[in-house]
């Protein structure tokens, strides 16, 4: 059963990570998407006697999968070294093989494997199988385009035809940011919809008589953000 708690988002907010899995913004579960963990993108360091041996040059690309240093994983490793790590003489990974001297040692750090495992189980992104990629990206694009359409309807309703600049000032963002959102070239953050909904409610509160009644009727009839658009568009 879907809960209201959103732990993280992906694909411009179209995907939402909830305690029981990944969902699309409209509430549809997405079992094809799974968590990417820090462990999936962190170096695979040697473990000996209950401790992870971290070389002093652990940030070097040669230690990382495909030679790519991930910032989230690097921050987690730095925290582990700072919080529970101890300086130590550790196995000279790579050097020992090159010199054919298994006893070769270098300076580094040791971190209890239990702490390492706990930190590396932290979700940091999403995975999906390549066969599902096109459909997943198309769904995300459709949902994000829906929010772009929301902007294109709310803008003229609140500020008239020249609404881009007014919306930018109201949301305290750049004009070209609004242009990107409205065109669908960049994803509209979820918080923007909430901010615009607040502006619509404030406009509603300035109305009276038949206009206000009609406006409120529209808002109470629908629960979705699209209701705000329809209601606002009809009030002059």
DSSP of 74-128, one letter per residue? Answer: HHHHHHHHHHH-EEEEEE-TTHHHHHT-TT-EEEEEEEEHHHHHHHHTSEEEEE-
Please tell me what DSSP assigns to residue 23: E
State residue 213's pLDDT score: 65
Q: Is 153 helix (H, G, I), strand (E, B) or coil?
A: helix
Q: What are phi and psi of 168, to 5 degrees?
A: -60, -45
State residue 97's pLDDT score: 42
In Å, how far are 58, 105, 170, 234 from 89, measured between CA atoms? 14, 6, 58, 73
State residue 224's pLDDT score: 44
Distance separating alpha carbons of residues 130 and 117, to the nearest angstrom: 28
pLDDT in tens, the chain (236 residues): 555 688 888 887 788 888 889 998 778 999 999 999 999 999 989 888 899 999 888 999 988 999 999 999 999 999 999 999 999 888 766 544 444 455 567 788 999 999 999 999 998 889 999 999 999 988 888 877 777 777 887 787 778 778 899 999 999 999 999 988 887 677 788 788 888 888 877 877 787 777 766 655 544 443 344 444 444 444 43
Instruction: Report the candidate in 64, 49, 41 with the shortest Cα–Cα distance to residue 119.
Output: 41
State residue 162's pLDDT score: 85
**CA distance between the termini of the chain:** 41
Tokens coding 113: 């494997």
Q: Evaluate if pTM is beyond 0.85.
A: no
Distance separating alpha carbons of residues 43 and 48, to the nearest angstrom: 15
Q: CB neighbours of 131 closer than 8 A, spacing ≥ 6? A: none
Asked if residues 58 and 43 have their Cβ atoms less than 8 Å apart, the reply is yes
Distance separating alpha carbons of residues 173 and 157, to the nearest angstrom: 19
State residue 159's pLDDT score: 82
Q: Which helix (H) or strand (E) holds 40?
A: helix 38-41
């Amino acid at each position: 059963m879907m809960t209201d708690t959103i732990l993280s988002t992906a694909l411009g907010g179209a995907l939402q990570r909830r305690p029981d899995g990944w969902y699309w913004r409209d509430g549809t579960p997405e079992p094809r998407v799974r968590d990417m963990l820090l462990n999936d993108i962190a170096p695979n360091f040697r473990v000996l006697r209950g401790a992870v041996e971290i070389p002093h040059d652990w940030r070097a690309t040669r230690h990382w999968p495909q030679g790519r240093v991930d910032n989230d994983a690097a921050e987690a490793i730095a925290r582990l070294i700072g919080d529970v790590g101890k300086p130590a003489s550790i196995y000279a990974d790579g050097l020992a093989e090159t010199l054919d001297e298994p006893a070769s040692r270098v300076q580094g750090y040791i971190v209890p494997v239990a702490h390492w495992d706990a930190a590396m189980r932290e979700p940091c992104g999403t995975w999906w199988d390549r066969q599902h990629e096109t459909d997943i990206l198309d769904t995300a694009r459709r949902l994000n385009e829906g929010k772009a359409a929301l902007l294109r309807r709310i803008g003229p309703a609140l500020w008239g035809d020249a609404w881009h600049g007014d919306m930018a000032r109201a949301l305290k963002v750049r004009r070209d940011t609004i242009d990107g959102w409205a065109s669908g070239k960049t994803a509209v953050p979820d918080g923007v919809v909430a901010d615009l909904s607040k502006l619509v409610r404030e406009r509603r509160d300035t109305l009276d008589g038949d206009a206000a009644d009609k406006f409120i009727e529209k808002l109470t009839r629908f629960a979705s953000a699209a209701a705000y658009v329809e209601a606002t568009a009809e009030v002059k």
